[in-house]
A and B are shown apart, each in its own frame.
Chain A
């Protein structure tokens, strides 16, 4: 659940969208958003969150403090 995209930082490059194993990332009205209900922090799939690993902008994808951490 816990990742979110800081939209002021995002370049809309869409790199993260294709890497997400849960299809949690989508573009709506030229803004990329992570669906908190779908994001599993990549746990169970990969060693590191794919969206963060591929995103060209540092600190563009961060923990969403408002949501509880994902528990497998």
Chain B
């Protein structure tokens, strides 16, 4: 069981301040539409509450996947749809199939319980568009029942061109397409077959059709102003060198975000890759590829590769609280007010955080030179350093430089606090997971782990407990620079 996120919901803070609020960068802008960086206000308005599309939003908002689409129209070597193991947490896997009616009720139940909920997506466990009736019927029901919830879907793209109009009609404004290759010679190593036009296609023919359909679908969506995220699975020795080309192709067709994910490969999953010993990439390999693709396009680094029925903030899954039996017994009314209040609260928090970040950054101006350092943060959400070291199931990694604090990824670990047994081994794993970091920021940490971390050259910092992540990191970095201490580790 993942640790529960304690909602940092403060209703009294939910007063909307109107236009005229100062945007963080000092530019005067209209509160809620203040778009960070170079994002246009229209795009920011679409992504700011979507945890999967905005690194910023994933600190605050929750998403929910509903598993109403069991069928698939292609076979991938990294997927095995046969087993459903409750211990697994990866895409394509789901514990319980839902009818569209049950799914809509589940959405209402979750929305009533989790005010952070902003997005409902259909991502499988098969392909959302290989089950068009179920997918669109479900979306219709949700839209009627809870109109303030945004809809999104994920697809392999094969059936996409046939459904672009239906997607636009339902106001789905985010679509994710998984694109792993353009070159059929690479494609035949990833896709054993596809089912298209009443025929099973194999080899390069299959890959060629799939690519044509994916590119056509991508172009049709962006022409309609629908935001498209492209997911790519990085498979070392198969498509790792090829993904930079994929990145260019999807960028030129207007994709908004490219999410390069590591292959998850384990013989126990029974996938072709798992059984044949195809390895996944090391975190450093993944980061190197992501770095080489950056520029001119947003690259997503906060993906947690959730299950097809995941519920909650990214990185947590509260699905077990919302099984069919439990939902059937619930009596739920639609009430958007707590979510509206929560969204206003987040708007205010964001302005505060941005202001704090900007003032720390200004204070540091010119001091950093070329120095760069990686640090790890434990958080329960809300962009705050608010998790006990021992309770952390993942670390968020930031790169600190003269440009500020940049989120570069996350590393999963086992909880260190397990109640006595095996703690030494787990602490070793934790230390290994963040060994390239100079410091780890926590809300609290015990004396022993602090010493062990120090021995590994990692400073444990609890001086910023419960404060904002980015401004704290910059403040810490600035103080280090002022002391002119050489940084312990440099960014790879």
Contact = CB atoms under 8 A, between A and B. Distances in A.
Interface residues of B, number: 16
B72 interface: yes
Interface stretch (A12-20, A33-41, A61-69): A12-20
B242 interface: no
Given A53-B195, A56-B81, A57-B82, A13 B200 contact: no
Contact of B126 (A15, A19, A50, A57): A15
B388 interface: no
Interface string A46-72: 111010011011000000000000000
Interface string B177-207: 0000000000000000001001110000000
A13 B199 contact: no
Contact of A54 (B73, B81, B82, B133): B73
A48 B200 CA distance: 8
Given A14-B71, A15-B126, A18-B71, A53 B82 contact: no
A50 B71 contact: no
A22 interface: no
A11 interface: yes
Contact of B73 (A14, A15, A46, A47): A15
Given A50-B198, A53-B200, A15 B130 contact: yes
Contacts of A50: 198
Contacts of B213: none
Given A11-B82, A15-B126, A56-B81, A47 B199 contact: yes
B121 interface: no
Contacts, number: 45
A12 B70 contact: yes
Given A48-B199, A56-B81, A13 B70 contact: yes
B75 interface: yes
A44 B81 CA distance: 31
Contacts of A54: 71, 73, 195, 200
Contacts of A14: 70-71, 131
A54 B194 CA distance: 8
Contacts of A18: 71, 131, 133
Contact of B71 (A15, A46, A57): A15
A42 B224 CA distance: 38
A53 B70 CA distance: 16
A14 B100 CA distance: 14
Interface string A17-32: 0110000000000000
Contacts of B198: 19, 46-47, 50, 53
Interface string B118-150: 000000001000110100000000000000000
18 contacts: A11-B70, A13-B81, A13-B126, A14-B131, A15-B70, A15-B73, A18-B131, A18-B133, A19-B198, A46-B199, A47-B198, A50-B198, A53-B195, A53-B198, A53-B200, A54-B71, A54-B195, A56-B72
Interface of B: 70-73, 75, 81-82, 97, 126, 130-131, 133, 195, 198-200
Interface of A: 11-15, 18-19, 46-48, 50, 53-54, 56-57
List the 7 closest pairs (A to B, CB-CB), nearest first: A15-B71, A53-B200, A13-B70, A54-B195, A46-B198, A13-B71, A14-B71
